[in-house]
């Protein structure tokens, strides 16, 4: 009996040893993912966009060692570059020889969009309380004589604006969220008046621009991750079947946009450290990457602008709390800047 028990115990032990060896062998040959280096980036390029022609922009100017939320670049008639910092209310002026100065037109303003009227006055879209009390104001070129165009009491949250050839302007209403499409695009004519709704039901409407011929309105949804191409019958009317959702962005974050003279569309990808380029029909054709993005730097790419009369593309970003401050990068655009509309 003892011999039988010993044999049984030995058999059980051999079975356990065999099972353990089999388990170890199974573990060493388990199917495993081999993640390519490109996908190990902090912000990997989506597979559908990874093979787009790409170029890395180079540094043009370090604006600050602090992580300032730089936005709203535009050029005035003298060729000076104007841009702003949202939370401090500062408007910067950069001359062609890189002399930087600044002014604060009103410490209560939270600027997110600038555009220069043919008269020379600066129009500003500002986010106010970031809830429902933003405004559009206009000022003299030096930041004085601030006047209200859209009041904080009107219930809008203006983020960006663009003039048409008649001297009126469109602005985006930066309201809503990924599941609450309560933002939109509004128009105010050259004679002023109440804002007219043109594009409703947007999830944080952000960037807005017009094609060189003024017939196509382009809009981004920050929370919706989408790009809209809107054919206009007139300033406030969408043409029949003229509204198209031409692109869905992976990872979200489409911020400001600009158009070049050939009608190509440049979209700043906030949180991704890059600028995507679409052709005039909305197909992606290229991208500009910012240095350090794979390691998590310079991801807050908010806006871009092309210097008038040139193909010099200036890209704005900040490193937030990562230590590399706020920087303007530069690259060559696909075409020269679109001419400014003139009434």
Active site residues: 255
Contact of 169 with 163, CB cutoff 8 Å: yes
DSSP 8-state assignment for residue 270: B
Contact of 330 with 312, CB cutoff 8 Å: yes
With tokens 């991801």, the residue in question is 299
DSSP 8-state assignment for residue 337: B
- Alpha carbon distance 248, 139 (integer Å): 36
Which residue in 176, 196, 11 sits closest to 185, CA to CA?
Answer: 196
247, two tokens: 């692109």
Contact of 273 with 320, CB cutoff 8 Å: no
145, two tokens: 């004589």
- Please report the sign of the dihedral spanned by the C-alpha atoms of residue 63, residue 69, residue 71, residue 77: negative
Half-sphere exposure of 240 (CA within 13 A, CB side): 0
Phi/psi region, residue 79 (left: phi>0; alpha: psi -120 to 50; beta: rest), is left
124, two tokens: 């500003």
């Amino acid at each position: 009996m003892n011999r039988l028990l010993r044999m049984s115990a030995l058999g059980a032990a051999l079975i356990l040893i065999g099972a353990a060896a089999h388990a170890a062998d199974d573990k060493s040959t388990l199917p495993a993912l081999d993640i390519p280096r490109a996908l190990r980036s902090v912000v990997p390029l989506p597979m559908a966009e990874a093979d787009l022609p790409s170029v890395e922009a180079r540094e043009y100017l370090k604006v600050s060692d602090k992580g300032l939320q730089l936005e709203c670049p535009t050029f005035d008639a003298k060729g000076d570059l104007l841009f702003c910092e949202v939370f401090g209310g500062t408007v910067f002026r950069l001359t062609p020889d890189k002399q930087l100065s600044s002014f604060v037109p009103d410490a209560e303003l939270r600027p997110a969009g600038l555009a220069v009227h043919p008269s020379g006055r600066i129009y500003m879209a500002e986010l106010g309380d970031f809830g429902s009390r933003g405004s559009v104001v206009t000022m003299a070129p030096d930041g004085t004589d601030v006047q209200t165009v859209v009041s904080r009491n009107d219930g809008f949250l203006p983020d960006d604006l663009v003039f048409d050839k008649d001297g009126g302007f469109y602005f985006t209403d930066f309201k809503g969220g990924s599941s609450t499409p309560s933002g939109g695009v509004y128009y105010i004519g050259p004679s002023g008046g109440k804002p007219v709704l043109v594009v409703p039901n947007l999830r944080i409407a952000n960037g807005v621009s017009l094609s060189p011929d003024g017939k196509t309105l382009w809009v981004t949804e920050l929370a919706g991750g989408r790009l809209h191409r809107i054919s206009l019958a007139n300033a406030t009317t969408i043409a029949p079947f003229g509204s198209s959702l031409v692109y869905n962005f992976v990872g979200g974050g489409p911020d400001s946009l600009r158009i070049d003279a050939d009608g190509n569309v440049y979209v700043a990808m906030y949180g991704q450290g890059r600028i995507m380029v679409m052709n005039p029909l909305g197909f992606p054709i290229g991208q500009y990457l910012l240095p350090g993005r794979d390691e998590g730097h310079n991801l807050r790419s908010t806006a871009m602008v092309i210097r008038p009369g040139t193909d010099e593309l200036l890209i704005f970003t900040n490193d937030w709390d990562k230590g590399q401050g706020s920087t303007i990068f530069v690259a060559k655009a696909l075409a020269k800047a679109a001419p400014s509309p003139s009434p």
